[in-house]
Structure 1
């Protein structure tokens, strides 16, 4: 079962999507309200939603016809780095400090007990399906980073899985790892959605197939796939380091690292479209715009 948020007649609607793709509106507007109410009834979120929709018919519209929003208004989005071998290779390729045969900071963190976890976004900077991703104006090498996102409670319980796009400026981080916040955080540099897959309905979160497609002038120019079984660290391990001596909030999203990196010569351009698919969750699709174009539009 998945949970989505959408706008209808200027009203925000939270809805459950069953495995037969029927859409059932729920008497809430925020995902975490459902999670909290389920706990109050001493039920899992899945079982509680089942009680709400049992015997009811879904709406006539399909998910593809709805004006989707971010599935959870995450007060904060955090991200994990260098959790896949492919990510380590990409970071080593772009760094200006690499030397043949010498271990880099990315090599060390890949094998270290403590993972790399960094702040990525706030609710105001995070967008949902079909909203434009913006290109940073002072970078010439920008890519999407497709990732599984964990939706967690303030206690660190994983209550759902979503898709995340952790946009990255490879040239800025490559120039100096201390520039990581600037390489990762800017307006509309993080997308999540299109849905939340309830954690208890995922048979094996370490066997999720992910595909990233990038279109340019309606032509497919990049298509790569990977599987979460390639993840070096476990989700609960990453969460444990995020919440350690830290205050997190209900609905926080933790991105778990990327296993898909476009070819080294590739950079996004205005007008591109990014699609990230995990069949159990859906397809997160976003057009690419420059901040300059957005400023003119406003």
Structure 2
């Protein structure tokens, strides 16, 4: 069972349950965390609560593909994990050493360390949903999407569901100096999540998600890469535990778990591109690419 949000014909945001068969059932709750709260109040699991809510109710006549989807959850904060896959470590090493890989770098040390890399990625105001524009920084000439599985958690760190995240990144800015990481990761519309939250109870093994990233330019597919969460170096519980250490986390926070898909080193996103990130059982997150400041084209 997946949870989505969409805008109806009256321009009202609607929370809904989306079944495996693609049927959409509107829910009376205003948002995802209200759904969680009411399930807890009734001592029901989230899945059982949703199933009871749609029992005997007719689905809407529209298909999910025809709906104007919103972010499935308005996450107060989006955090991200870095260097959790070997491929990510290798890419970070390449961009920070101008193509000449050193024997041992701080990225190698993070990959092998007990403590993972976790950083603030986005806020609700900076995060966009399906089919919304993600933006390119005007002071970077090497920018890519980073497709990631996102964990939707509550303030206790319990994993409520899974979603798709795009951690837009400037490889040249981060490679120039690791202290520039916030600028390489955080700017206007540099993060997207969606199109749904897959309830955690319905997932037998979260380390078997298949991830695909496609990038289109002028209608042609110029990048297609695949990966799987089974390639992760760290566990989800491990990442969440470090996020919670002496830290206040809010209900509905999203933690991105790192990427194993890096486009070829010679590739950079351009204005007008379209990004598709697909994760098995969750759906496809699509976003067009635009300049954050059209008056200043990227170099």
The TM tier, using the shorter chain, reads: over 0.9
TM-score (norm 1): 0.97
Q: Does 1:7 align with 2:22?
A: no
Superposition deviation, residue 101 in structure 1? 4.8
How far residue 203 of structure 1 moved from its aligned partner, in angstroms, is 1.6
Unaligned runs of 5+ in 1: none
Taking the aligned partners of 1:167 and 1:101, their CA distance within structure 2 comes to: 25
**Which residues of 2 match residues 113-128 of structure 1 at below 5 A?**
113-128=114-129
User: Equivalents in 2 of 1:137, 1:98: separation in Å?
Assistant: 23
Report the equivalent of 1:244: 245
Distance 1:82 1:247 in 2: 23
Q: What secondary structure, in the 3-state scheme, does the structure 1 residue paired with 2:125 have?
A: coil
Go from structure 1 to structure 2 and tell me whether the alpha carbon gap of 1:294 and 1:72 turns closer, same or farther (over 3 Å shift): farther
Written as runs of structure 1 = structure 2, the 5 A alignment for 1:277-288 is 277-288=278-289
| Equivalent position of 1:217 in the other structure | 218
Mapping 1:267-278, distance limit 5 Å = 267-278=268-279
**Cα RMSD for the two superposed structures:** 1.5
2:137 and 2:293 in contact (8 A); partners too: no
SS in structure 2 at match of 1:187: coil
Distance in 2 between residues matched to 1:227 and 1:100, nearest whole Å: 25
Superposed displacement of residue 205, structure 1: 0.5
Shift of 1:96: 3.5
Aligned residue runs from structure 1 range 139-288, under 5 A:
139-288=140-289
Which runs of 5 or more structure 2 residues have no equivalent in the other structure?
A: none
Query: 1:78 touches 1:254 (CA, 8 Å); kept in 2?
Result: yes
Aligned length: 296
Cα offsets for 1:29-48 (capped at 9, x unmatched) = 21011011111111111100
* 1:5–1:29 CA contact under 8 A, matched in 2: no
Q: How far did 1:139 drift?
A: 0.2
Q: What's the CA shift for 1:232? A: 0.5
TM (norm. structure 2) is 0.97
Equivalent in the alignment of 2:92? 91
Deviations 1:254-280 (A, max 9, x none): 000001000000000000000000120
Query: Deviation of residue 102 (structure 1)?
Result: 3.0
Deviation at 1:55? 1.4
